[in-house]
Amino acid sequence: MSDELKPATTVQSDLWARLRSFTRARIALGRSGHAQTTETILAFGLAHAQARDAVHLPLDAEALAVALRAAGHDSVRVHSAAVDRAHYLRRPDLGRVLDDDSGARLDALRPARTIDVVFVIADGLSALAAQRHVLPLLDAICARLHDVAIGPVVIALQSRVALGDDIGQRLGARQVVMLIGERPGLSSPDSLGIYLTHAPRLGRTDAERNCISNIRPEGLSYAQAADRLVFLMRGALALGRSGVDLKDDSSESGSMLP
């Protein structure tokens, strides 16, 4: 066949495959003529659907409670003032306070002695993240804590980050640690975040918290996240506060464990 009769090649070869193997970000997608390839368009649609599903997927609190019990953790279930997902998404303020029944339940559980830390497992904007990552992360954290009074693990439904302030204050905890599903991205529908608040109480601002984000196998590992959190917890106790005044320089300090 002469060169004049050979069909034109419209799909360019993917010369960036090796580079893309190092990240889940959408880089070097290639093109077919002046448009994206069918493969990349379909992949984008799938990622968008997974992100939307992650926002609306409910947390299986019963299965989580059973798994926590098997791992040796007592748990209690609470609900924010947002009665359902629709209210939760439209009214962020309702997700920051407990409903009346949950508040009364925690008031009754407040121990006589002070709790050093309360862990709150929250659905947030990705229950999928909490369902997948909380248990191995919690195991990694607890393995690094010694001589620390840990309260019951609180499973919080329709929860925003600030709900931890209400929970920690009612249980009389020195610190509250929120393990919460983060807003899904187009390459990370199951990203988990940690929020540490020292001396939790209603009215705390985001500037008074420390955040560790993107916890998942493709992001920050459970071990790395646990190391950073324990470092920040100890720093908050020494400083007497958390937030913008508490810097995460754990990488400069080496291992934070004795």
Q: Is 142 annotated as a binding residue?
A: no
First to last CA, the chain: 75
Residue list, annotated binding site: 161, 182, 211
- Binding residue ranges for adenosylcob(III)alamin: 161, 182, 211
